[in-house]
Each structure stands twice: as structure tokens, then as C-alpha cells.
Homo-oligomer: A and B are copies of this chain.
Amino acid sequence: MLQPLSPERNNERFNALVAALESGRMVRLRRLLSSLHPAEVAHLLESLPPTTRHLAWQLVGAGHRGEVLSYVGDEVRSDLMSDIAVEDLASLMEDLDPDDLADILRDLPETVVEQVLQTMDAQNRRRLETVLSYPEDTAGGLMNTDTITIRGDITLDVVHRYLRLLGTLPEATDSLFVVDRDDNYQGVLLLTTLLTRKRELTVAEVMSHGVEKIPASLPIAQVAQRFEKRDLISAPVVDEEGKLLGRITIDDVVDVIRDEADHSLMSMAGLTEDEDTFAPVFISLRRRSLWLGINLITAFLAAGVIGLFEATIQKQVALAVLMPIVASMGGIAGSQTLTLVIRAMALGQLSQSNIRWLLSKELALGVLNGLLWALVIGIVSATWFKGVELGILIGAAIIINLVFAALSGVVVPLFLRRIGADPALAGGVLLTTITDVVGFMAFLGFATLYLI
């Protein structure tokens, strides 16, 4: 079981920073900020309320700002960038990798992107344009262009001399990519192989074919699955013709995995994975009220169903007391199945052949849980309101609702995916609408037929 985080270590630095901010000790603050890794500065900025965040941002050294921006979430990033004059943006981004740069540029207006591109040298501009030409959520949009390529016919000794000539290697370099004359990807030479094999051998003799090339159009979620399954550190990205375009490194994949997993959690509450925890009230208000509005429609729908049975409730008020139990049990049971299915979808576990099995299983669980809790709820209700019929009625409604809940929990997300909607975002709303409507309809309908 994972423990919730105890962020003591962060807190120390964080509290020192806030203390410095509050007491206006700007010199100390500036020193504090410059001693941190850009990722830590990014994390601190994400944890600050708006006013303090902008104050701290002003104190981040100009040379670090670009890298800090590459570490913050999309929402916080546009918040921070609103502080920077367009003419300063270009210089700020000089030292960034093409993939981080592309990520930032996608959020900026066309004119700013043009300006930034103009300040770059021809080679970097071409690299950046390659990355920008692929959508953000594909391998091409995620890749970096800092690959080191070698030919297969040279000896390891030559490779050694070449690397010493280069003097430095890009971060997260665990392998060199072997290409032919036309830049077609052939395989990788792992640095560990380069270091352990005899110098006289040629690259072709020792290179590994185990790292599959990734098509630039592959969705990043699938890139992440491939990295997870094969324990990759870097992998080559190629165009449709197999020509090497760049590479994807594990640090970018980790961000994808974190975002992807957060996506399901946050979407189920109508939030986004980039949600800025400390966004100003009025920015949050729009999205939050929209979500409440959508849910209100379904609440009125459920109220409409109850409204059909006003006369019945009038005669037997116990129904009004007990009806939320029927709806609530259906909602809870349905959410369990829905969450399980959404996670299975995200992990790529579902296919034609096992969905039927899963549906039967969930239905069986619905029936069994229905029988169990129908009994409990029936007995409690019958005792509470001294009416055996009422107990039988609510029991029957519970069974029906739990079976519908199981069915909806499997079918709703599959249907939403089929029509291209996001199951994590729309699934919960649709599911509770169904369990509310079915629950109220079954319970109050039975009551009208048999009780009154």
C-alpha cells in the first residue's frame, strides 16, 4: 500500500522561501531560488498562491526562467508567461531543448512563435520545426532532436575517439543510434556495450536490434506503454520511411505517465490533469460552475422522475425517506465498475474477447451484491416503518438498480470511447444519471403498483 506523501523536506525549503517572501528579504530569496534545481523552483511556484507566485517568479534569474517553464504544468505556465514581454520570450528560450521549447511554443500566439523562430540559427530552427510539425500527443511532438548517430561499418575504437572529440553528450544518453547512408534507422549501440566490448569490433557486429523504432505518429500513451514494458531509457523516433528524426527519453515519458494517470482521477471530478491548484478564484470559477451546471441537468432529470410519483409519496412518506438509499447504492456500485473499466482501458487491458467475460462477472457481482444488500436494507426498512411490503419493494428496487449499475459501469465507458468522448470525464455523470433514474423509477414505480 502506498502511503500519502509526507512532504517534510519540501516544506522546509518552502517555508524558508515563504518566510523570506513575507518579510520582503528579496536578496535572501533570490539566493534561495538560485540554489535550487529548476524543477524544484517549478514545484515551489506551483505551490504558491497567485500574488506570491508572481513575486517569486520576478526573482528567478533570467537565465533559469526558460528551464523552469519547461517543468511547470500547462496552466501554471501560461500564468507565468503572462508576466513576460514578447521580446524577452525569445532570449529566455535560447537554452531549451527542442521538445521543451515546442511544448511551450504550442501555447503561444503565431506571431510570438515566428519571432522566436527568427532568433534561432538555421539548424535549431529546422529541428524545432520538425517537432512542431507533429501533434503534441504523438511521439513526434514528444521527441528531442539531440540524437548522436553513427554508421555501422566503423569500429568501436573510432566511436570512442569520436565521443572524446564531441566532449559532451546530451542528457539521458544511454545509446547511440546506428543509421545508414540515408539516415535510415538500423539499431542502437548501447554505451554499456561500447564500454565492455573489444575496440576492434565494428558497430554493426555489436549493435542491438532490441530497441524497436517508434513511428512519429504513435500516440504518446502507447509510447509510454512501450517504455514501461521494455524498461527503455531512450528510443529512436522515425518518419514513415524509417528515417531517424529524433529520440524520446525516459524523463519525458515519466511526465506522460504521471499526466495520463492524473487524467483519469481529475477528469472524474470534471477537472484537468494540468489543473493549477492555486489558480485565481475567477479562473477556477468558470470551469467549476460549468461542471456543476452539467450535473444540475441530471439532478433535475432525477427530480423529474420523482415528480411523476408525487401522489404516491403523499400517501406514503416513508418512500421519500428511503428513496435516496436506492439511488446511492446504485451510484456507489456503478462507480466501482466504471473506475475499474476506465483503468483497464487506460492500461490497454480490454479487447473484444475479454469484455464479454468482464460484463458477465460484473453482472454476477451486481446480482450477488443486490441479493445481499436487498436483504439487509429490506429488513431494516420493514422494521423501521413496520411494513413488510415496503421491505420487499425496496429490496426488489435495490437488486434491479445494482444490476443496472453493473451493466452501465461496463457499457457506458465503452460507448463513450466508441463515440470518441472521454470516458473518465463523461462516464460518472452519465452513470449516476442512469442509477438515479432507474433507482427512483423502480422503487417509486413498484410502490405505486403494489403499495398504494
Contacts and interface: CB of A to CB of B under 8 A. Distances in A.
Given A195-B191, A264-B265, A281-B368, A259 B5 contact: no
A7 B348 contact: yes
A111 interface: no
Contact of A269 (B198, B269, B336): B336
A46 interface: yes
A268 B343 CA distance: 13
A63 interface: no
Q: Which of A2, A228, A230, A268 has the most CB of B within 10 A?
A: A2
Interface stretch (A26-34, A79-87, A161-169): A161-169
Given A198-B164, A269-B335, A314-B317, A230 B39 contact: yes
A29 to B, nearest CB: 14
Nearest to A166: B196
Interface in A90-148: 137
A407 B309 CA distance: 35
A348 B225 CA distance: 26
Contacts of A373: 289, 292-293, 296
A328 B295 contact: yes
A335 to B, nearest CB: 5
Given A265-B261, A332-B292, A281 B364 contact: yes
Contact of A265 (B48, B328, B343, B384): B343
A271 B339 contact: yes
A415 interface: no
Interface string A315-349: 00111111111011100110110111011111111
Contacts of A328: 295, 298-299, 302
B296 A325 contact: yes
Contact of A288 (B9, B231, B272, B336): B336
Contact of A47 (B195, B300, B307, B349): B349
B296 A3 contact: no
Contacts of A306: 320-321, 324
A242 interface: no
A361 interface: yes
Interface stretch (A54-62, A170-178, A180-188): A170-178
A295 B5 contact: no
A266 interface: yes
The interface centre, meaning the residue of A137, A306, A328 with most chain B CB atoms within 10 A of its CB, is: A328
19 contacts: A1-B263, A2-B220, A5-B345, A6-B219, A39-B228, A43-B349, A46-B349, A47-B351, A163-B196, A164-B195, A171-B231, A228-B255, A257-B257, A269-B340, A277-B344, A292-B332, A302-B328, A306-B324, A313-B320
Given A40-B229, A167-B196, 18 more contacts: A3-B221, A10-B348, A18-B351, A18-B354, A39-B230, A43-B348, A43-B349, A46-B349, A169-B192, A191-B191, A253-B254, A257-B258, A257-B261, A271-B336, A277-B340, A299-B328, A300-B380, A324-B324
Interface of A: 1-7, 9-11, 14-15, 18, 37, 39-40, 43, 46-49, 71, 137, 160, 163-164, 166-169, 171-174, 191-192, 194-198, 219-222, 225, 227-231, 233, 250-251, 253-266, 268-273, 275, 277-278, 281, 284-285, 288-289, 291-293, 295-296, 298-300, 302-303, 306-307, 310, 313-314, 317-325, 327-329, 332-333, 335-336, 338-340, 342-354, 357-358, 361, 364-365, 368-369, 372-373, 376-377, 380, 384, 417, 422-424, 436
